[in-house]
Amino acid sequence: MRVAVVGAGLSGLAAAHELARSGAVRVTVYEKEDYLGGAKTVAVDGGGKGHVLVDHGFMAFNPVTSPNMMEWFEGLGVEMDTSDMSFSASMRLNNGKAFEWGSRNGMSSVLVQKSNLLSPRFWLVIHEIFKFKNQALMYLEDHERNPDQNETLGQFIKAHGYSQLFQDAYLIPMCACVWSCPSQEVLGFPARFVLSFFRDNQLLELFSHSHWLTVKGGSESFVKKVREELESNGCQIKIGCEVNSVSKFNGGYRILEVDGSEEMYDMIIFGVHAPDALKLLGAEATHEELRILGAFQYIHSNMYLHCDETLMPQNASAWSARNFLGTASSGACVTSWLNILQATLELNNIQGKRGIWFCSPYQGYGYHEDSVKAATEGDLGFASAYINGYISFVDHRNGLVNLVLITLANRGERKRLSSAARKSSSTRKAWWAPLLGISGVAFAKYFLRHVMRKNSVSQARKNISEHYDLSNDFFALYLDPSMTYSSGIFKEEDESLEAAQLRKLDSLINKAKVESGHHVLDIGCGWGTLAIRLVNKTGCKYTGITLSEEQLKYAKKKVKESGLEDHITLLLCDYRQLPTSQNEMIEHVGHEYMDDFFGCCEYHLAEHGILVLQFIALPEELYDKMRMRPEFLKTYIFPGGCLPSIGRVVSAMSNASRLNIQHLENIGDHYYTTLMKWRDNFVANREKASALGFDEKFIRTWEYYFSYCAALFKSRTVLDYQVVFARPNDAKLPSYLAIA
């Protein structure tokens, strides 16, 4: 396969490098300038002090917020050095008075104008800077709970009553220095966009900023490393070669150069600005491409290299890495791009369609990290590749499981080595590498989809229905005859799935200590097997609730066939709508509603009652990372799902109930065997799945689901708990010292 990368800025180079080192494609890079990387190191007259090397595409990045680029540089062997990320403002206010401040030298730069020492207005601004930090952090925390908030920065400022001087002398200059935008237009930026960038880069701190780095030796040294790698991997690089057009031809793409030369390719990656990509596509650009890429607006920015001290703050003590000069009413800087968020969310609608991909920093904040992230794909990309049939394994049964196990082992080893490196060296190589995650545009796309599916009462039914209402016939293709959809407990690995599932049900019944006079509430009753077995064994009363209409229909039929309708009541409702033995549904509750769940259990549980939960859980170290990140299960299988940690469960229990943990058992080792048996059943019934109307992509999605989860349990990356809860000081509580 031949792939052309048009545009050799940072994003284009990252994409080309990722493709070339795979060895699976032949890559050609086109760049109209006579240099790569979108920047050039040039020698300028140093004013009698010889020549000075100046990097006109200066790269400054934060190791905390630029993990993808840092990891890329680490692999290339690019040397890095510390950099300054200080700010200053020198301006004339509407009253004609000059106002200056800086951050490079701490308080001495802030107080560079001594008259400010006695100025109440100045100290009000200082107070508002600290207030801004606290309210920004509170806003972002609230935004995680209420992602539908979409106010602008200007609306945020107005709502919190910030002074005009704070805006003119601090906020607008800071934003203009970061994004080189017209002064007043920053107030039209989305508040979450600006505040999260400030938070992540520690720009909310007045006196201390995060540790920033730059490439040692300038962009030229970095580009040299990348070029060597590309050429060693057979990549053809065409600099000073301007592309005139990209057009469809004979099932591929024809690139026409300005000199009339032509080349054919199977796929195209655009590493150029959105308007430039549309220009190259010309009349062949689709309506969707025109609509989405056309939403990215640009303004030309004029940059000048100068040695004129009059264009710096009047007081040299205020000079900082980035200096804003202007007035309160007119702009001092111009922008390269602005307000991109809505178009960014829709980029997936055109990515990869027609064999064309778009990567450039306009897909993020506009910084170098966004170039690297936009050019590469992570874990969800692999899942998508498998689902679409681009990846297969010689070992059909264990190949995917083994690959996931190797990936998990390598990530764990990388974390261990990084920890050891931190103890033995100050360089901290690769400490930023995520343990489990995805990259770039994929993250934004899938995360947005997930947060829109939080389990409110109305949304929960939609989320449950999307999975459990696929059809009962479908689930019967891989579940055992009991239709039990959670881990069994095996005595032997070759034991039947049905026997293991019945043993698991008996384990739950024994732990709940159910007797004939009891009334059991089952939140998430499934297909009714537990209800029937529980009533047959104990003679108790049983009420089960579900949000799946298909499950309810099936369970009611089974209860009627068993003649137990006088003992068993089944309802279609949410646990929050009730006017609690329970088996694996807390994963569908969600982080935000965990306390509500335990509050409901506390309310409905009898004074000497027992709550039994079986649930899949993450280790504590992964919980906060994974609940905020998209991943395969939330994206493809369980929309709105959130695997809890035992710590989160205990926290919710303590916050909303009087319950304590009386007994805990991890049966996660049995889930690997359960999942592999489900997989074997499903694969054996592929033709039946097709007959039910499920296409090849859907079938491969579920094959991936079983193998992926099996690897997670085999590696103990995820766990499966059975937990018994009861109220303290209950003399009637039975002993749990020995439970079979």
Bridging pattern class, strands 252-257 and 262-265: antiparallel
DSSP 693-721: T--HHHHHHHHHHHHHHHHHHHTTSSEEE
List Cα–Cα distances, 131 to 198, 391, 602, 718, in angstroms. 14, 52, 40, 41
Token pair 């960014």 in the structure block, residue: 344
With b for 16 or more beta-carbon neighbours within 10 A and e for fewer, the 532-542 pattern comes to bbbbeebebbb
Residue pair 637/466 in contact by the 8 Å Cβ criterion: no
Token pair 């920015």 in the structure block, residue: 301
Q: CA-to-CA distance for 332 and 312, rounded, in angstroms?
A: 12
- Joined together, the tokens standing for residue 202 give 């520690």
Q: CA-to-CA distance for 267 and 147, rounded, in angstroms?
A: 36
Q: CA-to-CA distance for 88 and 312, rounded, in angstroms?
A: 9
Edge to edge, the sheet with strand 262-265 lists 243-249, 252-257, 262-265
- Joined together, the tokens standing for residue 48 give 């009698």
- Greatest Cα pair distance, the chain, in angstroms, is 101
The terminus-to-terminus CA distance of the chain in angstroms comes to 58
Q: Rounded to 5 degrees, what are φ and ψ at 210?
A: -65, 165
- Joined together, the tokens standing for residue 636 give 């493809």
3-state helix, strand, coil in the chain (%, to 5): 45, 15, 35
Look at residues 607, 620, 606 and name the one whose alpha carbon lies nearest to residue 650.
Answer: 620
DSSP 621-652: HHHHHHHTS--HIIIII-TT----BHHHHHHH
Token pair 């890559």 in the structure block, residue: 27
Residue pair 724/580 in contact by the 8 Å Cβ criterion: no
Residue pair 409/716 in contact by the 8 Å Cβ criterion: no
Q: CA-to-CA distance for 724 and 360, rounded, in angstroms?
A: 52
Residue pair 617/718 in contact by the 8 Å Cβ criterion: yes
Residue pair 102/113 in contact by the 8 Å Cβ criterion: no
How far is C-alpha 469 from the chain's CA centre? 27
User: What does the CA dihedral 569, 574, 575, 579 come to, rounded to 10 degrees?
Assistant: -70
Q: CA-to-CA distance for 719 and 664, rounded, in angstroms?
A: 12
Instruction: Report which residue type is found at 443.
Output: F
Bridging pattern class, strands 568-572 and 541-546: parallel
Q: Could you tell me how many helices (H) and strands (E) the chain has, helices first?
A: 28, 23
HEC assignment per residue over 125-146: HHHHHHHHHHHHHHHHHHHHHC
> Does residue 195 sit in helix, strand or coil?
helix
Edge to edge, the sheet with strand 60-61 lists 60-61, 212-215, 80-83
- Joined together, the tokens standing for residue 576 give 């929050």
The residues that are catalytic are 709
Q: CA-to-CA distance for 683 and 396, rounded, in angstroms?
A: 10
Q: CA-to-CA distance for 711 and 436, rounded, in angstroms?
A: 14
